[in-house]
Amino acid sequence: MDMGRKSSCRDDTNGVVAALLLAAALCLGAAAVARGQLTDDFYDYCCPQAEDIVKARVSAAMRAEARMGASLLRLHFHDCFVNGCDGSILLDGSNSEKLAGPNLNSARGYEVVDAIKADLEKACPGVVSCADILALAAKYGVLLSGGPDYDVLLGRRDGLVANQSGANSNLPGPFDSTDTIVQLFKDVGLNTTDVVVLSGAHTIGRARCALFSNRLSNFSAASTVDPTLDASLASSLQSLCRGGDGNQTAALDAGSADAFDNHYFQNLLKQKGLLSSDQGLFSGADAGANATKALVQAYSANPQRFLCDFGRSMVKMGNIRPLTGSSGQIRKNCRAVN
């Protein structure tokens, strides 16, 4: 990005308008030439400061609450698995994906996205999509937590409709078996390696008691507590959740809650996965777990392999059915269509 071009700007209204029109044409041209393919230089000419603006807002939000990096990463994931990566999770309304079971009282970070969008509209009106904001916010949520600095492909446009029923049916859940999760990933073009490596995003963030308390009591006729859950961790979680309303939270990666590393996989080897869907990747009895177990072991022993594969899988996920060219729109407000 050539930030030096700012020095040549003049107080010339006609020149500014012409420059804006040229920038918009360059963005549209890039999408047309790409013919549905995203590129890593999409905003280099039409909004060269876009990534810096996103990074600044994400950094400020994470200074206020380290957990926000994980929340923004999750928004991108939940967006892409429903209608593709089109920013539909951000839309308000009666059919909003925000009201779907996997997102209600769970998905968060919308206000950070609003702030990023406001900054971008001031700098580059009508240029940067909400879908791309989600992809970039996820990247910086990972990077500023100590994770890999992967290249984000850009050029998505925003969808016109939300899909609440799709959010209820398409998103992998904390109670799902490994076989079910592998199939949901396969449905959007991702494979078993992507399942394990993207589950590694749970190296940061927290989960509510409502999502794992089923493992803490009355688990089965044979066992009060899930036998694949470490006894000492189970005891501490019982104390945390007892008598509450299900909204108390625990770290997804006990012992390394805010650092993006491979500790999550090391915890799975010790039966310290918080969610049953996480621990199932290593301890599950279904057919899918045969493949995921070997990957969990590999990533637990090789942090660099995990970080490299994570970046690759994020790029793959970010390319799930994006709208490009003249499809969709660039929303002015991420919560509503223009």
How crowded is the C-beta side of 78, counted as CA atoms within 13 Å? 29
- Is 97 annotated as belonging to a binding site? yes
How many CB atoms neighbour CB 136 within 10 A?
26
DSSP state letters, 237-288: HHHHHTTS-S--EEESSTT-TT--SSHHHHHHHTT--SSHHHHHHHH--STH
The answer to whether the beta carbons of residues 138 and 206 sit under 8 Å apart is no
- Is 41 annotated as belonging to a binding site? no
Q: Is 78 a catalytic residue?
A: yes
- Is 79 annotated as belonging to a binding site? yes
- Is 173 annotated as belonging to a binding site? no
* 244 CA to centre of own chain: 28
The answer to whether the beta carbons of residues 264 and 165 sit under 8 Å apart is no
- Is 243 annotated as belonging to a binding site? no
State the Cα–Cα distance between residues 100 and 94, nearest whole angstrom: 10
State the Cα–Cα distance between residues 241 and 213, nearest whole angstrom: 7
Cα dihedral: 277, 198, 233, 263 (round 10): 150
Spatial CA neighbour of 139 closest among 54, 47, 43: 54
Cα dihedral: 106, 206, 113, 96 (round 10): -20
- Is 253 annotated as belonging to a binding site? yes
Output the CA–CA distances (angstroms, integers) from residue 245 to 28, 140, 209, 235, 258, in the order listed. 49, 32, 8, 18, 25
Check 78, 98, 316, 331 and give the catalytic one: 78
- Is 203 annotated as belonging to a binding site? yes
- Is 84 annotated as belonging to a binding site? yes
Tokens 């940061």 sit at which residue?
204
Residue type, position 316, single letter: K
- Is 7 annotated as belonging to a binding site? no
Residues that constitute the known binding site: 79, 82, 84, 86, 88, 97, 172, 202-203, 253, 261
Residues that constitute the known binding site for substrate: 172
Residues that constitute the known binding site for Ca(2+): 79, 82, 84, 86, 88, 97, 203, 253, 261
Catalytic residue list: 78
Residues that constitute the known binding site for heme b: 202
